[in-house]
Amino acid sequence: MKGIILAGGSGTRLFPATLGVCKQLLPVYDKPMVYYPLTTLMLSGIRDILIVSTPRDTPLLSQFIGNGTQWGLSLSYAVQDTPRGIADAFRVGRDFIGKDDVALILGDNIFISNELQTILHAAVSKRTGARLFACRVSDPERFGVVEIDKDSRVISLEEKPKKPKSRWAVTGLYFYDNSVVEAARELTPSARGELEITTLNASYLSRNSLHVEQFGRAVIWIDTGTHESLLEASVLVRTLQKRHNQMIGSPEEVAFRLGYIGKEQLAATASKYSNSEYSYYLQQILDE
């Protein structure tokens, strides 16, 4: 399975902070935002990843992150020249996906859980249809909403409904079989001119190939697209890291613990980031 990080959009909800910088490079406490979705894909066992962004931000992300070899990954980049919706990522990344299955994660979504790796590996192992994740929220009208019956079967999907049928919001993490490439190609723009991910998911529902897992309290999901949620995420990451002395969203640590890189590469990064808490933490891992 391959992975796509959609780091597009102009970040208007974060203006003026994003007028001169890519949203995904803003810090969430001690790391750039993009590290969190990147490590989510890594925990899924995915190592071949495409980062899709805007004409302005793609060179910035490429210069900052590179080709991923420092983490034992293969990273490549593609430009989405204009915001055409989440599902457009599968058109932009068509050649990258090829004949493989694919996972898509939004570049401003953060997932935190001790059980996350187990949950993600289970999703990757089920190679047919589409597999989504839903969280119960207080403001479902801001999201795509899924209605689920008592037997965990999906009844309906709606995009930002004024009167939501449930409080279960679809998160920005999606796993698809290869048929998503053709399904995305057949989509037509919505009234707001975008290729809607909800419409794409509804096509899987119509074929009885849509599966939704409901995240309970063991999983924290934050969409960091607003100033308030960005601050909330930073405070939460700081609190959990200080309490447990364990970093969240560190690609170096994830790569090392998964065996993608060795001690020499980890030590090189620790040296590069000298005099920072991040460096001290990586050194602790080396000294374990």
Domain assignments of the chain as residue spans, ordered by start: 2-127+172-187+219-249
pLDDT at residue 126, rounded to an integer: 86
Q: What's the pLDDT at 40?
A: 98
Which amino acid, 58?
Answer: T
The pLDDT, as a whole number, for residue 272 is 94
- Confidence (pLDDT) at 30: 97
Model confidence, pTM:
0.97
pLDDT in single tens digits along all 288 residues of the chain: 999 999 988 788 899 999 989 999 999 999 999 999 999 999 999 999 999 999 999 999 999 999 999 999 999 999 999 989 999 999 999 999 999 999 999 999 999 999 999 999 999 998 899 999 999 999 999 999 999 998 889 999 999 999 999 999 999 999 999 999 999 999 999 998 999 999 999 999 999 999 999 999 999 999 998 999 999 999 999 999 999 999 999 999 999 999 999 999 999 999 999 899 999 999 999 999
Can you tell me the distance from the alpha carbon of 178 to that of 175, in angstroms, rounded to the nearest whole number?
A: 10
For 253, residues 6+ apart whose C-beta sits below 8 A from its C-beta are 247, 281, 282, 285
The string of DSSP letters for 192-245 reads: TS---HHHHHHHHHHTT-EEEEEP-TT-EEEE--SHHHHHHHHHHHHHHHHHHT
* Residue 209 phi, psi (nearest 5): -120, 20
**Number of Cα atoms under 13 Å in the Cβ half of residue 90:** 27
Nearest Cα residue to 169 out of 140, 208, 189, 200: 140
The DSSP bridge pattern shows strands 130-136 and 109-112 to be unpaired
> Given this model, what pLDDT does residue 56 score?
95
**Amino acid 257: pLDDT:** 97
CB 201 within 8 A of CB 179: no
**Can you tell me which residue has the tokens 């293969």?**
74
Q: CA 196, CA 201: separation in Å to the nearest integer?
A: 9
Query: What Cα–Cα distance (Å) separates residue 9 from each residue in 83, 91, 225, 268?
Result: 6, 16, 11, 34
Q: At the topology level of CATH, where does 2-127+172-187+219-249 sit?
A: Spore Coat Polysaccharide Biosynthesis Protein SpsA; Chain A (3.90.550)
What is the sign, positive or negative, of the torsion defined by CA atoms of 32, 37, 43, 46? negative
